[in-house]
Chains A and B, each alone.
Chain A
Amino acid sequence: MTVIKDSGERSLPTPFTQEHQELRESIRRFVESEIAPHVDEWEQARWFPDELFLRCGELGFLGLKYPEELGGQGGDYLHDAVWVEELARSGASGGVAAGLGAHTGIATPPVFRFGTPDQHQRFIVPAIKGERIGALGITEPGAGSDVAGIRTFARKVNGGYVVNGSKTFITNGVRADFLVCALKTTEEGGHHGLSFLILEKEMPGYEVTAKLEKLGWHSSDTGELSFTDVEVPDENLLGEENGGFYLIMANFQWERLLMALGAVGAMKRLLETAIEYAGERQAFGRPIGRFQAIRHKVAELSIKAEVGQAMTYNALRLFCEGQDALKEVTQAKLFTQRACVEVADEVVQIHGGYGYMREYGVERALRDARLGPIGGGTDEIMKEILAKQYGL
């Protein structure tokens, strides 16, 4: 099968520059040599070692967007975008990408943005080194998309809070050293009664009640947590008391962009896998890539990946320029997550029986992709946001 080679003389896609390209090469080489070879083992073990956080910390990947004073690399959101896209693109598996991504993409950003200098020292500095692992705790058994329905309650006492309640579907929940936790600080809760407290693993009453089994993302740990009279000091209050709803909303755009970037990376990888397989696999005396049925599938998949990338990079550009990108981010998240499931499904089909087997990793990609239309805001919520944007 002849593949048209990119002449390489075209400019890089906006908003990326040569510097991002070099970072991409560095991350790609790291993922290909230190993560991808272990993914099967880690998927089977339903866990990847904590040492991976330390290694990523040592290489500076956990602090790309944080300032050098805190041990970061002094970069910005775009560098983090490269990190997330490349984890998916170079074969880190959905699970490993989720574990590392939850730490860098959703757990630490609110602490950095709204935290005190003391909180930066206690949580961000060790998080950048990979010495303390973070998780974000929002979802509860009875509150998913409806965050105003959070029931975990922090009762104010002298010098701090006493927390009771539970969280579920928490990525890194089992291993996390600290949990950036949304809870209600008024009896009524709701939009004006939510706050964030940073809970620490060693606090009495903080308990991991289950490590959840999932359809995909097997190498990431997804935890269920319970809090019984957990005493949390005032210095662990993140941002303003009762200002938690704003904190939740503040990072949603970034979280959704990260999910879109992950899907873009995964789609590119899937497409390459399919093209390679179609060129090698023989049936009826020729490579299956010579059959129109397969050729047309590949052509269509390439467009899905390309459109997804164009939408995501555009939303990313707007977001990084500080413009209102709610509509574009929502569209990119909605489109890419569904597209990635469809691409993965078609790539399994191209692989035939081998696609259904573990060997080629495409069945895993399909299972891993399925979280996309659910996590970080469901497809249905995305559509509601979009309709609202159009005044409906």
Chain B
Amino acid sequence: MKICCLVKEVPDAAVQKRINPETKRLDRSGEKNLNPFDTHAIEAAMQLKEGGDVEVDEIVAVTMGPDSAVRALHKAVALGADRSLHLTDGALEGSDVAATGYALAKLLESESPDLVLLGQQSDDGECYTIGAVVADHLKMPSLTQVIKMDAAGGKLTLERQAEYGYDTVEVELPAVISVGDAINEPRYPSLKAIMGAKKKPLDTKSTADVGIEADRVGEGGSRTAVLEINPPPAKESGEIIEDEDTNETVEKIVAWLDERKLI
């Protein structure tokens, strides 16, 4: 079985996020890191490999991004991936979620993975959707927000976080699965793994290498256009109910909730 883990280089959590008013895109200058959610995807892949219920031949870290994204790949390899794949091309700059998903799917097609794992969200854009877009292009089932994964008999049994509890689902492979941070605790890369990461194979691909149609990616190929960016509206000030007579206070609170159909 081959597992591909989608990883992303994002601004470090300590860097204050800002929108560049000219490009209307996130300002990605400053210190960067491997998207923390993706580290859980790699750990999930490692646990499948080490668990022994399925035969995992290799784990491939896959990313799309500028030159600097190589560092995120090194980190992914230090966490356990066997090799990595880097899609980088100026033509991809400014791709929206749909365009990025298409490009990643084309890149993944060249690998024919049995399982695609990724973090449920990126620490920068926080769209939560890339897994579904990739799955759609690859014609694979998509499962999101998975927090438990067990392998047996060619199937995966998963628990996913749903709005009102947990869904337990079975999925046949191949599939695209995005995981939440509750799924595991990523290991601490050892010095040996860190030093060894740069020696593991890293393939760099351009859009042409994997048959990406130029007019479907980049700012021009994206179907969304950001027209304007505004801060969220300020919260209205709440209503303060003074507790003078407790019975009366309770009635007031109940009435307030009732009015809004909250009870």
Say whether A and B bind each other. Answer: yes
* Chain A residues proximal to chain B, CB less than 8 Å: 5-9, 18-19, 22-23, 26-27, 29-30, 33, 59-60, 64, 68, 73-75, 79
* 54-80 of chain B: CB within 8 A of chain A: 71, 74-75, 78
A284 to B35, CA, bound (A): 42
> Using Cβ atoms and an 8 Å threshold, which residues of chain A touch B15?
5, 8
Give the complex CA separation of A26 and B33 in angstroms: 13
14 additional contacts, CB 8 Å, given A6-B31, A9-B31, A68-B192?
A5-B14, A5-B16, A8-B31, A9-B29, A19-B194, A22-B75, A23-B194, A26-B189, A59-B188, A59-B190, A60-B190, A60-B191, A73-B190, A74-B195
Give 10 A-B contacts (CB < 8 Å), ordered by A residue. A5-B15, A6-B31, A9-B29, A19-B194, A23-B191, A30-B188, A60-B190, A68-B192, A73-B195, A75-B195
Q: Mark B171-192, 1 if CB is under 8 A from A, else 0.
A: 0000000000000010011111
Which chain B residues border A6 with CB–CB below 8 Å?
A: 31
Please determine whether B31 and A73 come into contact, CB atoms closer than 8 angstroms.
no
B12 A8 Cβ-Cβ under 8 A: yes
In angstroms, Cα B29 to Cα A18, docked, is: 17
CA gap between A30 and B71 in the complex, in Å: 21
B211 CB contacts on chain A under 8 angstroms: none
Pick the contact of B189: A5, A22, A64, A79 (CB < 8 A). Answer: A22
What is the distance, in angstroms, from B240's C-beta to the closest C-beta of chain A?
21
A59 to B195, CA, bound (A): 14
**CB distance A75 to B12 under 8 Å?**
no
- A210 to B15 alpha-carbon distance, docked (Å): 49
Which of B31, B74, B185 is packed against the most chain A CB atoms within 10 Å?
Answer: B31
Within 8 A of A (CB), among B132-189: 185, 188-189
Q: Of all chain A residues, which has the CB nearest B195?
A: A19
What residues of A have a CB within 8 angstroms of the CB of B30 in the complex?
Answer: 5, 7-9
The answer to whether B29 touches A7 (Cβ under 8 A) is: yes
Bits for B10-39, please: 1 = Cβ < 8 Å to A, else 0: 001011100000000000011110000000
| CA A279 to CA B14, docked complex, whole Å | 17
Chain B residue contacts of A59, Cβ below 8 A? 188, 190
Instruction: Give which listed residue, B29, B31, B74, B190, contacts A26 with CB less than 8 A.
Output: B190
Docked pose: A343 CA to B192 CA in angstroms: 36
Closest chain B CB from A160 CB (angstroms)? 38
Closest B residue by C-beta to A60: B190
**Once the chains bind, are B71 and A18 in contact (CB under 8 Å)?**
yes
B208-226 with Cβ < 8 A to chain A: none
A75 and B191 contact, CB distance less than 8 A: yes
Q: How far is the CA of A187 from the CA of B32 in the complex (A)?
A: 62
Determine the distance from Cα of A61 to Cα of B188 in the docked complex, in whole angstroms: 10
A16 to B212, CA, bound (A): 40
